[in-house]
Amino acid sequence: MNPVNYLYLAALLFTIGAAGVLIRKNAIVLFMCVELMLNACNLAFVAFSRMHGNLDGQIIAFFTMVVAAAEVVVGLAIIVSLFRTRHSASVDDASLMKL
């Protein structure tokens, strides 16, 4: 199969994720959308790796996964503590950290 198709899929997934981040209020959903975008990138990286015949893309994909895992750990902790203090997971409620 033509690897380019994978790229189309990645672009589609990324767009869905981005739209989710922009539209949804719930922090958990937002988070999932971010993950979706990250994984879309991973897919693209692997596809590129295949297309160019070297391993750079795959290595970066691993990096991305590690970062994503770390992000999940920190991010979920924040969301949980936010929910505990405010009884809401809406990101719009946490708008006090501004100048």
Partner 1 sequence: MENLIGLLIAAPLLGAVVLLLGGRRLDKAGHWLGTLFAAASFGIGVVLFADLLGRGAEDRTLYEKLYTWIPVEGFQADVAFQLDQLSMTFVLLITGVGTLIHIYSIGYMEHDERRRRFFGYLNLFLAAMLLLVLADNYLLLYVGWEGVGLASYLLIGFWQHKPSAATAAKKAFLVNRVGDMGLSIAIMLLFTTFGTFAFGPVFASVGNATEGKLTAIALMLLLAACGKSAQVPLQSWLGDAMEGPTPVSALIHAATMVTAGVYLIVRSAAVFNGAPDAQLVVTIVGAVTLIFGAIVGCAKDDIKKALAGSTMSQIGYMILAAGLGPVGYVFAIMHLVTHGFFKAGLFLGAGSVMHGMNDEVDMRKYGALRKFMPVTFVTFGLGYLAIIGFPGLSGFFSKDMIIEAAFAKGGTQGWILGGVALLGAGITAFYMTRVMLLTFFGEKRWQPDAAGHEPHPHESPKSMTIPMVILAFGSVFAGAFFEIGERFLKWLEPVTGYEHGNSPVSAMTVTASTMVVLVVGVGIAWSMYGRRPVPVVAPRGSLLTRAARRDLLQDDFNHVVLVRGGEHLTRSLVYVDHSLVDGAVNGTAAAVGGASGRLRKLQNGYARSYAVSMFGGTAILIAATLLMRAV
The residues of the shown chain that bind partner 1, judged by CB under 8 A, are 18, 21-22, 25, 30, 91-92, 94-99
DSSP string for the chain: --HHHHHHHHHHHHHHHHHHHHH--BHHHHHHHHHHHHHHHHHHHHHHHHHHTSSHHHHHHHHHHHHHHHHHHHHHHHHHHHHHHHS--BGGG------
Interior CA angle at 40 toward 23 and 71, to 5°? 75
The least distance separating partner 1 from the CB of residue 1, rounded to whole angstroms, comes to 27
The least distance separating partner 1 from the CB of residue 59, rounded to whole angstroms, comes to 24
The least distance separating partner 1 from the CB of residue 24, rounded to whole angstroms, comes to 8
Cβ closer to partner 1: 64 or 90?
90
The least distance separating partner 1 from the CB of residue 68, rounded to whole angstroms, comes to 17
Cβ closer to partner 1: 57 or 75?
75
Cβ closer to partner 1: 27 or 68?
27
